[in-house]
Chains A and B, each alone.
Chain A
């Protein structure tokens, strides 16, 4: 049996249960007597509710309760408490839940929901971020001044539609532009997109007769869900037990607080278990999506290619509720300089309310948003300067140990190797080689984009871990990180196996069954690519604690100093006399001498972690707010059909400096899956609204996520290992980085191949064709002639 498994390919611990359909998701959990909820949702983007008539619905067969906003007159939220459980006074988007109809079966509830009638007084909706910040725009939240929010962290502006106004200032951009020889000025756009997890959001809540509350929910962050829900509903934290079974995908959607408060309050009212399951179209209209973006950017470069000044206004379409997007806007702002040394920076990043779908965190958290403009600016500037896209990056990339970020944080020696990432991309994709297209009317092109990202979290985002040794020497690892396919539990098992020198099969991580807040130790959230790093550090401390307990006993048993005890290969022995050996099992429950005397006791190690020396950011966006940065990048080879505008990705290279590879299989899975997800938003995905704010594609037919037939022929992943000084075994996080640079890499490839600019995603066939037609019409006509002349040849 292989003992040293770090860096090898280890299948995820829950793979067998997943592929055999045995894993229990929260959807699978049922309680006797549970009730079902059907939602009545708004048909207006913005309207005052004159009245809700529930009298027919309540009389419908099998109905035990009908609830409206009036039943729950309070607001909830993570960073800003702007959400109601059900619409109160007015509806703010099409899909806003107005009433909840509760019945003994889903069919009964759905049938009765049709009988709820709502009398609306339509109001003018605001559906565009630029209009939303004009003076006199309709207000989505008139009462913003009364909302609770995380002071010192975000900055809402009551009386406007601005939920957060974040600024980052470094140097003086006007003098930076004065020193610039070349200026790139562009507007870039991103639509709202959906997370589209396989498992839709669902909650089972039970307000028990003893006034303890149990919740089973498809969520990412058990403890944040518990704390925020308890605080919102005035429940003592330890009386709320949140169970988070493995989730069928999260992608940020299931971070923070979701549908739990509504299900709990209904259960409190009816004193029965309540199950709330969204339909796919509710998931795509009534639940949050990712923010949209309009970004006006201006970048100045000196003639030798130095990035002198960057001015950016990010207008993030937060939709009707911004409880998480306020931090997305903050993050987009403070990390707007990406992986580059920029001398002068002025960034304004706004989270803006509109009458569209509310928004929340999503994989990448503000970084797909700020890298989409920044990484294209680099290629456009290179073109204007007569440099190539690789050279301009070499000139401006962070130099660890020397560079300083926009926030004033130094780029540390151990932060990674951005230059090495760039080299890996150039080499891997064969950046300088020209490939032949499959047809004469198509064009092959290569492009790349860099990225850097740190977890975006409050300064006290802690983690903790417990390690227990079982009677036979097997090991239990318990942390608070949820399992949603990202692979953290398996990586933690590998770390524990390595530390004790046992095969990974001997370690069990309890996330296999899910996390329960009354059984698992605290971790802040399962977000931000922070799990392996934060829980990993806590776990190593817990392991050290457990080992110390074993060393104490072994010191007595072997009669050697404690510090001379080695614990390796699953065995315990004096360093100087390794022929005297005992197993872990001999100490698991305390050591028992032949006469029955026992010393020590069951081994249980605990470890805690909190970010070191982190601060809030000041009014200029300066401070120390990160724990590690992961550098990476994506390079692509695409083929563009000039007749249809269709872009196909042929080959991909993903490169990241991960510090240390813990599980190669998971890393590759992240690199491949993240690319595909990034490609979906780059080429296809977009929530489409009509002029009234109706969603035109609330389904997976017309909201298109990539299918197997859309995948590139080849995806390669390269991992660099510049150890993170404080990371577990030197590792740092990777879960989000894998999709951040995908869209700009594809756009840069198109620009390099055709000199056609695409400033807006998705780069679907029609958008690309129209861009070619506007910017290089001659390409389309000559492609048509090419195609015809080839047809002639075949005919002859």
Chain B
């Protein structure tokens, strides 16, 4: 991500690479520190002087933060790079919503160092990870020396650059139910690297719950169930699309930004719903 920087150098900072969470917590105690995983977002923000931490804590050396677990609830550690998710074909079967989103994040070069947790913690309204994770009703485990708490990913991102965690906390991992066996992620970008609108659908055939998350329209993904939109997976798909389209029109908020007008973003979201629903239902 770049908003444009007149700078070519980074501000001064010290770099720490702790081997354990406790070491990381200790480093955070010093204040004015930032946690870095892939570094894609953080280093750019620093180059642009949007952030100027005196300490950068690289968490890639902490063993608990690596690894993907697919049995039971899905768990993805904070140091897991997007390329690891992309290469995990089992993830495609267990959580197609996330898998498809990951494949569409940025480009292969960035995916080789960026992490999913980093994609969330960047807190940029147009990124793909949070939209997909919100559809999956995913939670983040947030840890500090005082213990661990769970926050819904949908609540973690509060708006542009705003994250609902404290300065002494680290997002350790993301978890979600492996029940959403059907789903997809579709995005539309035009004249930008970012999605002007995106739609994630997560559907659990067993429970009959279908969740829809719409990204990029406003400052954070907006999530609803088919029930919220007055429909269900039992209806014909064209009826579902009609109802969800009118729900998007009347029930979701949208803002004008550099990517497009609110009116156009809603139009694109509706077009994406057609594509996504045809695929899933």
A residues with CB within 8 A of B: 39, 41, 106-107, 110-111, 277, 279-282, 284-285, 641, 643-646, 683-686, 688, 695-702, 704, 762, 764-766, 769-770, 784, 787-792, 794-795
In the complex formed, the residue of A with least CB distance to B274 is A787
CB distance from B127 to the nearest CB of A (A): 12
A281 touches B5 (CB 8 A): yes
CB distance from B26 to the nearest CB of A (A): 28
B142 within 8 A of A: no
With A766-B264, A791-B241, A791-B278: A699-B191 Cβ-Cβ less than 8 Å: no
Residues of A contacting B242 with CB < 8 Å? Answer: 788
A794 touches B237 (CB 8 A): yes
A644 touches B271 (CB 8 A): yes
B residues with CB within 8 A of A: 1-9, 11-12, 188, 190-194, 196, 236-238, 241-242, 258-261, 264, 267-268, 270-271, 274, 277-278, 281
B258 touches A704 (CB 8 A): no
A643 touches B9 (CB 8 A): no
Task: Name the contact of A792 in the complex, choosing from B5, B9, B237 (C-beta under 8 A).
Answer: B237
With A110-B9, A795-B236, A795-B281: A788-B274 Cβ-Cβ less than 8 Å: yes
With A644-B267, A766-B260, A788-B241: A279-B5 Cβ-Cβ less than 8 Å: yes
In the complex formed, the residue of A with least CB distance to B3 is A699
Q: How far is B259's CA from A110's CA once the two chains are assembled, in angstroms?
A: 31
Q: How far is B84's CA from A504's CA once the two chains are assembled, in angstroms?
A: 48
Q: How far is B9's CA from A699's CA once the two chains are assembled, in angstroms?
A: 16
Q: How far is B236's CA from A277's CA once the two chains are assembled, in angstroms?
A: 60
CB distance from B186 to the nearest CB of A (A): 12
A795 touches B4 (CB 8 A): no
A277 touches B8 (CB 8 A): yes
B192 touches A704 (CB 8 A): yes
B4 touches A769 (CB 8 A): no
B8 touches A106 (CB 8 A): yes
Residues of B contacting A696 with CB < 8 Å? Answer: 258
Task: Name the contact of B238 in the complex, choosing from A282, A645, A683, A792 (C-beta under 8 A).
Answer: A792
CB distance from B161 to the nearest CB of A (A): 15
Task: Name the contact of B267 in the complex, choosing from A284, A643, A704 (C-beta under 8 A).
Answer: A643
A792 touches B236 (CB 8 A): yes
Residues of B contacting A277 with CB < 8 Å? Answer: 8
Q: How far is B107's CA from A282's CA once the two chains are assembled, in angstroms?
A: 25
Residues of B contacting A704 with CB < 8 Å? Answer: 191-193
B277 touches A791 (CB 8 A): yes
CB distance from B245 to the nearest CB of A (A): 8
Q: How far is B260's CA from A701's CA once the two chains are assembled, in angstroms?
A: 14
With A106-B9, A766-B260: A700-B2 Cβ-Cβ less than 8 Å: yes
Most chain B beta-carbon contacts within 10 A, residue among A277, A284, A644: A644
Q: How far is B194's CA from A791's CA once the two chains are assembled, in angstroms?
A: 28
A765 touches B4 (CB 8 A): no
In the complex formed, the residue of A with least CB distance to B281 is A795
With A107-B9, A696-B258, A791-B277: A762-B191 Cβ-Cβ less than 8 Å: yes
Residues of B contacting A791 with CB < 8 Å? Answer: 237-238, 241, 274, 277-278
B237 touches A795 (CB 8 A): yes
Residues of A contacting B271 with CB < 8 Å? Answer: 641, 643-644, 787
B258 touches A702 (CB 8 A): yes
B241 touches A701 (CB 8 A): no
In the complex formed, the residue of B with least CB distance to A763 is B191
Residues of B contacting A794 with CB < 8 Å? Answer: 237, 278
In the complex formed, the residue of B with least CB distance to A105 is B9
B4 touches A281 (CB 8 A): yes
B190 touches A684 (CB 8 A): yes
B191 touches A683 (CB 8 A): yes
CB distance from B40 to the nearest CB of A (A): 12
B7 touches A765 (CB 8 A): no
Residues of A contacting B4 with CB < 8 Å? Answer: 280-281, 284-285, 695, 697-699
Task: Name the contact of B191 in the complex, choosing from A279, A684, A788 (C-beta under 8 A).
Answer: A684
With A110-B8, A684-B190, A787-B274: A769-B236 Cβ-Cβ less than 8 Å: no
